[in-house]
């Protein structure tokens, strides 16, 4: 079997020597559907504890409309994460040169963050809440305390989706009643 010629003229010995050593960019599409939590945990393991806590605080705060992207965009590559990713790169490609390894580490970090972005906050929030319950609770409490309270609509005023908004105030001033 060793050295047998395959369909395109390459020997399987050459192909077999690279098997299992290639770096995975992203998991296959079918795995995204089934193992979102496992993929998220694997991506989070590569991040340092400081970055995981920063992400947890950012996601728990929900401070703006783009809170999820804002929390992920605020992550920057730190030394601990860089060392972890460098070890992963050298494990997958031990003969890689140092300058090329740094480029690959940056690319791997961006891919990890984008993997978390693709998985979404519905899967990511429960994992971070499980890993950092105290950090998540304090950030969520601070966000709740900082958020302006929404006044309930008065009887006969604009209620429903417009309550507490400028459109609701304009409708209440005009005497429009919600159905």
Look at residue 146 and tell me whether its pLDDT is greater than 80. Answer: no
Q: What predicted TM-score, i.e. pTM, was given to this entire model?
A: 0.63
For the stretch 75-131, pLDDT in tens is 999 999 999 999 999 999 999 998 999 999 999 999 999 999 999 988 998 999 898
Choose between 157 and 78: higher pLDDT: 78
Distance separating alpha carbons of residues 103 and 54, to the nearest angstrom: 24
For the stretch 6-64, pLDDT in tens is 444 444 444 444 445 555 555 555 555 668 889 999 999 999 999 999 998 888 887 77
With residues binned 3-state (H G I as helix, E B as strand, rest as coil), the percentages for the chain, rounded to 5, are 65, 0, 35
Confidence of residue 163 (pLDDT cuts 50, 70, 90): low
Q: At what angle do helices 36-45 and 121-131 cross, to 10 degrees?
A: 50
Q: Can you spell out the DSSP letters for 17-84?
A: HHTTTSPPSS--HHHHHH-HHHHHHHHHHTS-HHHHHHHHHHHHH--STTHHHHHHHT----HHHHHH
pLDDT value of position 115? 92
Look at residue 2 and tell me whether its pLDDT is greater than 60. Answer: no
Q: Which of 28-32, 53-57, 138-142, 167-171 has the highest mean pLDDT?
A: 53-57
pLDDT value of position 139? 81
């Amino acid at each position: 079997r060793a050295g047998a010629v395959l369909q395109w003229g390459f020997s399987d010995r050459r192909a077999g020597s690279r098997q299992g050593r290639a770096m995975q960019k992203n998991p296959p599409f079918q795995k995204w559907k089934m193992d979102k939590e496992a993929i998220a945990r694997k991506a989070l393991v590569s991040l340092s504890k400081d970055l995981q806590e920063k992400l947890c605080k950012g996601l728990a705060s929900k401070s703006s409309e783009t809170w999820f992207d804002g929390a992920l965009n605020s992550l920057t590559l730190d030394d601990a994460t860089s060392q972890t990713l460098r070890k992963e790169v050298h494990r997958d490609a031990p003969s890689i040169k140092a300058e090329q390894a740094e480029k690959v580490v940056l690319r791997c970090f961006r891919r990890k963050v984008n993997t978390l972005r693709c998985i979404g906050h519905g899967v990511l929030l429960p994992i971070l809440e499980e890993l950092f319950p105290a950090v998540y609770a304090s950030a969520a409490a601070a966000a709740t305390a900082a958020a302006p309270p929404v006044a309930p609509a008065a009887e006969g005023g604009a209620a429903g989706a417009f309550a507490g908004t400028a459109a609701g105030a304009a409708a209440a001033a005009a005497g429009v009643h919600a159905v």
